[in-house]
Amino acid sequence: MSRKKIELEDGAILPVRRGLWVAAVEKLHEAEAGIHQMVEAQDRIQYEAGWTRFVDSLEEFWTRFFDEGKSGFSDFQRWAGTQIACRKRESLLKYLAQARHQSQHGRIALDWEEGLLQVAPGFTGAIRRLQVFEDGTYEFDATPAHSSVPEPTLVHSPGRPHLPVVENKKHGGSFPPPTMYQGRPLEDQSPVGVARVGMQFYSEVLEQAFAEFGSREPASD
């Protein structure tokens, strides 16, 4: 009688044992991808989708991270008290959580500046006539002040994104865009700048958690 290897059923999906906080880390990577999507966006739809991707994934990271830690380690909640307090104290972290609530209700928590058309930026000289055509082309009748001065151009500035005040109508709360973090003014108050600060906070929380609990065996379900 010969021994045979057990065959795997066609189309079978194998179970895989996940390591500690792997499910949470997946969402942190997804949040990072949301930031990258904003940075690389070529239009507002892509940018707003990146913002929604970021705030959704970041809060989902926290939910997965906290739930797994709480169920796996008896002293996790006590350890996480500092992070929970920071989430409640820091306006930037509160804002990101509230922005996620907005996205869950189908509202994009972003504003945009009014667009403008810059006429001959950096040009010096005389402009006698400017004609703009329906196809987006234009013609200048202009004489530069010096031969080294480049020809005049028209530059379209569609407007940059801004974080608006987020209103939580259910609880009557109002959350202005953050301008400070940990007692210091934010250098970059754009959506990408705020997102990067939030990303850094949660990445550091995860790093600290692995340092504290990574070598311990979680309790079994």
Q: Where are the domains of the chain?
A: 22-112+160-213, 116-157
Long-range CB contacts for residues 26-32, cutoff 8 Å, separation at least 24: 27/57, 27/58, 27/60, 27/61, 27/64, 28/57, 28/58, 28/61, 28/199, 28/202, 28/203, 28/206, 30/57, 30/60, 30/61, 31/57, 31/58, 31/61, 31/195, 31/199, 31/202, 32/199
CA 210 – CA 188 distance, rounded (Å): 29
- Residue 221's pLDDT band (cuts 50, 70, 90): low
pLDDT at 150 over 90: no
- Note whether 58 and 98 are within 8 A (CB): no
112-136 confidence digits (pLDDT tens): 999 888 888 889 988 899 998 999 8
- Note whether 192 and 35 are within 8 A (CB): yes
Rounded (to 5) percent helix, strand, coil in the chain = 45, 15, 40
Structure tokens that stand for 11 in this block: 């189309």
pLDDT at 163 over 60: yes
**Residue corresponding to tokens 């507002």:** 44
What pLDDT does 50 receive? 96
Averaged pLDDT for residues 3-13: 90
57-79 confidence digits (pLDDT tens): 999 999 999 999 999 999 999 99
pLDDT more than 90, % of the chain: 62
> How many C-beta neighbours within 10 Å does residue 9 have?
7
* Average pLDDT taken over every residue of the chain: 91
Predicted model pTM: 0.83
